[in-house]
Amino acid sequence: MKLNNKILISNSLLSLFMLVVTGLGTYYVVNTTIYDELDFHLLQHKADIQQQLMEDPNSLDEIKRLGGLGSYEWVEISDFDQSITLHSNNFSTIDTVRYANVSELPESYRKLTTTLSVGGSHYLLEIYEEVAAWEKISMTVMLSVLAALFIWVILLYVVNQYAFGRILSPFYDTVDRLEHISSPNELGEPFPEPNTYEIRVLNNALNTMLTQIKSSFDDQRKFIQNASHELLTPLSIIRQKAEKLISDSEQLDPSSLERLHEIQQTAVRLTRLSNALLLISRVENKQYEMSDEIDITQIVEQVLKELADFTEIKEITIETEYSRQAVIKGNKELIHSAVYNIIQNAIKFSPDGGKIWITIAENGSGQIVLFVKDEGPGIPEDLIDQVFERFRKGDKLSGHGSSSPGLGLSIVKSICELHGCEYKAVNNPDKGVSFSLIF
Amino acid sequence: MRALVVEDEVLLNEELEELLLEEHFTVDTSLDFDQTEDLLLGEQYDLVLLDLSLPGGDGLDLLKLIKKQRKTSDDTAVIILTARGELEDRVQGLELGSDDYLSKPFAMPELRARIHAVLRRKFKIDDNEINIEGVSIHLDQTEVSYKNDFLDLTDTEYKMLRYLFLNKNKTVTRIALSEHVWGNKIDDRFSLDFINSHMKNIRRKLSDAGAPDLIDTVYGVGYKVKAHEA
């Protein structure tokens, strides 16, 4: 979950909690106040009646008569029946229908049940007072508090979203940039220095780190390039010395000849290896012109012609299908080399009399795809993700890698990365491997 | 035979490559100094067509590099091609060991003739045709004949046989043959078997024509064409 959403949600939850607590709290407080007030009022009333009866004990009947008439507030006086303790005040809230002809709905009343003493005799006094009116007030208070709080929560959410978006935007810029860094070659501009302290610290740290990574990466590539370059001379000397000796084979016994041949072969292979590394590091160091207009179809045809010797002897059928004119911009020599490696690979692992399908077509998103499918043994599933890696571990074990140091596909990879195209290797469901380059 | 074309002008580079392909060379091309240097260090060429003015360095330095390598290897024939027509340059180039010199612009037939001449010198032959025990091979046409009967060889077979003829009485390793036919991009562990198959075909075609068995197999190493001194 994104950081600002997290903050937003926790804020909103807190606000909602506050809203509920405050709403309920307000309601409770208002209600309590109202009941206190009502009870006070009822006691007052009782005191008034008592007062009046003290002054004039004969007015009891009139009080009974008049007291029973009120609709919001009325009094009932009856003989004391021992149902309550003498002189105690008992409050309760009851729901009752006062006038069935006016409304069937019961209304809420506060009732004080107490005793009256008139001239030595006791009466049961019940005073009722309507609560409904008061309840409406408390309801209104609660609702307005809730409404205010609700508006506040909404406002908080909107403002938060905007404000967090603003405050966190440099942070998100950084995250976004980091997500898009695919290799130390493509660092682009350094991270900016925003005025938020933490993000500035973060960006500066990232800048330092990435610069260090890039420079050590550059150093490493330069080293590989220089080392491969420097190896070429001694290797060619070894090779040529061996060849010189071999060419006069008459002078040598067979076992020395064979040893010399091994020396020569090893020297040749090391030279190839150095050349491949040199090519890869030159590609990675971007030392190639990228301005050629390249017709992929033409390249494929040219490569097939160059490799015709091998397809003929292995009696491999090549089926080509070019459904689209495929011209891209880049370096012709490199693209040729990538295509050459892929097709050579397919031929190398095809069984005699096998078939290779080469297709140039357009995929769903309008990109040109070169598709090479063979009928070879395929690549073990656990290695298929690493076939494009340099000196991968499985080389010694896998059928596909056992015959070379496996730099051919690494060359393909680096060339593809330079040209911004994708590369993929997939085992076919029946047999063989499909390689695709997506330009 | 392997040739390297060093020329920064793309169109001319392609044209030269074409010419050499017609001459049945296996051709590498280079457009700049650094690339040429790496190629020269790693590969063995029979012929280098060298433009002196290159991006990234002076062609004369490349010439020095080739010459330094000659101490250890067989001669690489160098023909300098340049717009620098001045006498001094020409002299310096030749002094440094180039085999010939052509000023731009030049006609392709002239270059072709000079390539032949340079190669004759390199392989110490007098003619564009090498004849060993009745089998004769033409250096500039894909033609192999035995006693006036033409043999039907494929391009690859021709290249292999020609290379063995040019290096007569020397053992040529299979790896060297593979490089001469297919260049350095081919995976050698893969291509060596193919050299055997092609060689089998060449032998069969020669014996079908009634020619003597000229090609010795140097077991596990390569091949050799024996030519008895006449």
Which domains does chain A possess? 3-146 (3.30.450), 197-284 (1.10.287.130), 292-438 (3.30.565.10)
Tokens of A421: 């195209």
pLDDT range class, residue A272, cuts 50, 70, 90: confident
Tokens of A399: 């059928």
Beta-carbon count within 10 A of A209 CB: 10
Tokens of A9: 């949600």
Locate the chain B residue with the closest alpha carbon to A248.
B170
Q: Distance (Å, rounded) from C-alpha A432 to C-alpha A407? A: 20
pLDDT of A332 above 50: yes
Does any CB of chain A come closer than 8 Å to the CB of residue B167? yes
Q: How far is CA A54 from CA A47, A86, A395, in A?
A: 10, 18, 116
Taking each helix axis as running N to C, give the angle between helix A254-284 and helix A408-419, from 0 to 180 degrees, rounded to the nearest 10: 10
Lowest mean pLDDT among A184-193, A366-375, A430-439: A184-193
Which residues of chain B does A269 touch, with a Cβ-Cβ cutoff of 8 Å? 188
Q: Is the peptide bond before B105 cis (omega within 30 degrees of 0)?
A: yes
Per-residue pLDDT reduced to its tens digit, B194-212: 888 899 999 999 888 888 8
pLDDT range class, residue A402, cuts 50, 70, 90: very low
Rounded CA Rg of chain A: 47
Lowest mean pLDDT among A10-14, A342-346, B17-21: A10-14
Q: Do residue A249 and residue B218 have CB atoms under 8 angstroms apart?
A: yes
pLDDT range class, residue A182, cuts 50, 70, 90: confident
Per-residue pLDDT reduced to its tens digit, B136-172: 888 777 788 888 888 888 888 888 998 888 888 888 8
Which residues of chain A does B220 touch, with a Cβ-Cβ cutoff of 8 Å? 254, 257-258, 261
Rank A105-109, A190-194, A405-409 by mean pLDDT and report only the highest. Answer: A190-194
Locate the chain A residue with the closest alpha carbon to B221.
A261
pLDDT of B85 above 80: no
Lowest mean pLDDT among A123-127, A267-271, A399-403, B154-158: A399-403
Stretch A169-186: mean pLDDT: 81
Residue A300, pLDDT score: 92
pLDDT of A395 above 60: no
Residue in B185, B186, B188, B201 to test binding to A, most A beta-carbons within 10 Å: B185
Q: Do residue A243 and residue B190 have CB atoms under 8 angstroms apart?
A: no
CA–CA min distance B88, chain A (Å): 30
pLDDT of A401 above 50: no
pLDDT range class, residue A400, cuts 50, 70, 90: very low
Locate the chain B residue with the closest alpha carbon to A308.
B156
Does any CB of chain A come closer than 8 Å to the CB of residue B221? yes
Of B224 and A134, the one with more pLDDT? B224
pLDDT range class, residue B129, cuts 50, 70, 90: confident
pLDDT of A396 above 70: no
The 3-state secondary structure of chain A reads: CCHHHHHHHHHHHHHHHHHHHHHHHHHHHHHHHHHHHHHHHHHHHHHHHHHHHHHCHHHHHHHHHHHCCCCCEEEEEEECCCCCCCCCCEEEEEEECCCCCCCCCCEEEEEEEEEEEECCEEEEEEEEEECHHHHHHHHHHHHHHHHHHHHHHHHHHHHHHHHHHHHHHHHHHHHHHHHHCCCCCCCCCCCCCCCCHHHHHHHHHHHHHHHHHHHHHHHHHHHHHHHHHHHHHHHHHHHHHHHHHHHCHHHCCHHHHHHHHHHHHHHHHHHHHHHHHHHHHHHHCCCCCCCEEEEHHHHHHHHHHHCHHHHHHCCCEEEEEECCCCEEEECHHHHHHHHHHHHHHHHHHCCCCCEEEEEEEECCCCCEEEEEECCCCCCCCCCHHHCCCCCCHHHHCCCCCCCCCCCHHHHHHHHHHHHCCEEEEEECCCCCEEEEEEC
Locate the chain A residue with the closest alpha carbon to B28.
A333
How high does pLDDT run on average in chain B? 84
Per-residue pLDDT reduced to its tens digit, B100-109: 888 878 888 8
Residue A229, pLDDT score: 85
Enumerate domains of chain B plus CATH numbers.
Answer: 2-122 (3.40.50.2300), 129-225 (1.10.10.10)
Instruction: Work out the percent of chain B whose per-residue pLDDT is above 70.
Output: 96
Q: Do residue B173 and residue A274 have CB atoms under 8 angstroms apart?
A: no
CA–CA min distance B221, chain A (Å): 6
Residue B73, pLDDT score: 56
Q: Are A46 and A114 in contact (CB under 8 A)?
A: yes
**Dihedral angle, C-alpha A429, A430, A431, A433, nearest 10 °:** -30
Of A277 and A100, the one with more pLDDT? A277
Stretch A320-337: mean pLDDT: 87
pLDDT of B190 above 80: no
Q: Which residues numbered 78-107 in B keep a CB inside 8 Å of some CB on A?
A: none
CB-nearest to B188 from A229, A268, A278 is A268
**What value of ipTM does the predicted structure carry?**
0.80
Residue A244, pLDDT score: 84
Lowest mean pLDDT among A187-196, A269-278, A316-325, B82-91: B82-91
Tokens of A328: 């891209």
Which residues of chain B does A404 touch, with a Cβ-Cβ cutoff of 8 Å? 187, 189-190
Length of chain B: 230
Which residues of chain B does A280 touch, with a Cβ-Cβ cutoff of 8 Å? none
pLDDT of B96 above 70: yes
The 3-state secondary structure of chain B reads: CEEEEECCCHHHHHHHHHHHHHCCCEEEEECCHHHHHHHHHHCCCCEEEEECEECCEEHHHHHHHHHHHHCCCCCCEEEEEECCCCHHHHHHHHHCCCCEEEECCCCHHHHHHHHHHHHHHHCCCCCCEEEECCEEEECCCCCEEECCEEECCCHHHHHHHHHHHHCCCCCEEHHHHHHHHHCCCCCHHHHHHHHHHHHHHHHHHHHHCCCCCCEEEECCCEEEECCCCC
Does any CB of chain A come closer than 8 Å to the CB of residue B172? yes
Tokens of B8: 């920064």
pLDDT of A196 above 90: no
Tokens of A404: 């070379």
Locate the chain B residue with the closest alpha carbon to A261.
B221
Per-residue pLDDT reduced to its tens digit, A365-392: 888 889 899 888 888 877 777 788 777 6
